Amino acid sequence: MNSTPFADVDLDVRYRAARRIAEQAAQQGLAFYRQRDSLAIEHKGDNRQDVVSIADRTLEDFIRAELAAAFPEDGFLGEESGSADLGARCVWVIDPIDGTACFVNGLHSWCVSIGLMVDGQPALGVIADPNHDELFHGCRGRGAFVNDRPLAAHNARHVRDGVMGVGTFHEPGKQHFIPFLEQLLDAGGMFIRNGSGALMTAYVAAGRLIAYHETHLKSWDCLAGVVMVLEAGGRMNDFFRDDGLLHGNPYLVAAPGVYEQIAGMIGPWLDSPAGTR
Low-confidence ranges of the chain (pLDDT < 50): 1-2, 44-45, 47-51, 275
Fold match flag (11-150 vs 159-271): no
CATH 3.10.580.10 is held by the domain 159-271: no
The answer to whether residues 216 and 168 touch, using CB atoms and an 8 Å cutoff, is: yes
SS3 of 168, please? coil
Give the class (CATH, top level) of 11-150: alpha beta
pLDDT at 68: 96
Q: pLDDT tens digits, residue range 50-81?
A: 445 788 889 999 999 999 999 999 999 987 77
pLDDT at 230: 98
pLDDT at 50: 45
Distance of alpha carbon 55 from alpha carbon 118, whole angstroms: 28
The answer to whether residues 63 and 21 touch, using CB atoms and an 8 Å cutoff, is: yes
The answer to whether residues 195 and 99 touch, using CB atoms and an 8 Å cutoff, is: yes
Q: pLDDT tens digits, residue range 153-181?
A: 999 999 999 999 999 876 677 888 999 99
**Segments making up each domain of the chain, as ranges:** 11-150, 159-271
Burial of 248 (0-12, 13-18, 19+ CB in 10 A): buried
Among 12, 6, 65, 19, smallest CA distance to 224 is for 19
Instruction: Name the β-bridge partners of 134.
Output: 129
